Copies of this chain bind each other. A is one copy, B any other.
Amino acid sequence: MKNYKIVLAYDGTRYNGWQKQGNTENTIQEKLERILKDISGQETEVFGSGRTDMGTHATGQVMNFHMNWKGSAESLLDAFNARLPEDIAGLSIEEKEPRFHSRLSAKAKHYSYSIWKSKKAPVFERKYVFRCEEELDIMAMKQAASAFIGEHDFKSFCANKRMKKSTVRTIYDIVFEETEDKLVLHFYGNGFLYQMVRILTGTLIEVGEGKRKASEMENILRAESREAAGFTAPSRGLFLREVYYESWKGGADA
């Protein structure tokens, strides 16, 4: 059995998220497992680097799976891509050592969240942005974001109320990218809790709108309670951009 790593892009709009679970149909994982079985004739379980929610997108999700395959890795990627719908693509393939696991081996991740700030409607990007009608005070948002950098207990930013494991995570950086129409927040960290990026973003938007002060962020962290933080920004603006398998070296990714 070889262990293959594939980097994936997908438009999450019409899927019930990444993870196959109970009766949930139309998940990305389920769709990919069906295709790999179709190619190889083998039941194949795929491991994602993390679940993405319903409607969340990816330009750099990583999965791995074990398969008996006699051809080249490239031929496997071609067969895979030939069977994918237009809203999912395999970007690259690599054969990895047997112990490589897309989730357990991951050292850091990059997520982005796109906020549409133009008064003109996002006709062509409507499924990939959250539209914010109010003027945003971006300086205040940057000041608030700086409170999240470093190692913190992010329990207030976790939607899983029954989370029993540690909610301590390290955010390496939050980078603001501003264009004429959009504000894109880039989050780099060693791991993210359930809906953490969306709750961080929602809280930062509330700061931008003047509903919260930047100086409140430390109290929100200290509260260790979901109720203390802001709203959960909708999944459509969220992208899993890259998964890193080497220690974080700082700086933005390619």
Residues of A within 8 A of B (CB): 9-11, 57, 59, 81, 84, 86-89, 91, 120-121, 123-124, 126, 128
Contacts and interface: CB of A to CB of B under 8 A. Distances in A.
Contact of A128 (B10, B86, B88, B124): B124
Listed from nearest, the 5 A-B pairs whose CB atoms lie closest are: A89-B121, A9-B123, A86-B126, A89-B123, A11-B123
Nearest to A131: B86
Given A11-B126, A59-B123, 14 more contacts: A9-B124, A10-B123, A11-B123, A11-B124, A57-B124, A81-B121, A86-B121, A86-B123, A87-B123, A87-B126, A89-B120, A89-B121, A89-B123, A124-B128
A94 B124 CA distance: 24
Contacts of A120: 9, 89, 91
A237 to B, nearest CB: 13
A21 to B, nearest CB: 24
23 contacts: A9-B120, A9-B121, A9-B123, A9-B124, A10-B123, A11-B123, A11-B124, A11-B126, A57-B124, A59-B123, A81-B121, A84-B121, A86-B121, A86-B123, A86-B126, A87-B123, A87-B126, A88-B123, A89-B120, A89-B121, A89-B123, A91-B120, A124-B128
A124 B58 CA distance: 10
Q: Which of A9, A59, A88, A123 has the most CB of B within 10 A?
A: A123
A75 to B, nearest CB: 14
Nearest to A125: B124
Nearest to A121: B89
Contacts of A81: 121
A60 to B, nearest CB: 12
A156 to B, nearest CB: 32
A72 to B, nearest CB: 16
Contacts of A89: 120-121, 123
A126 B89 CA distance: 11
A90 to B, nearest CB: 8
Contacts of A87: 123, 126
A84 B86 CA distance: 27
A84 B120 CA distance: 12
A147 to B, nearest CB: 32
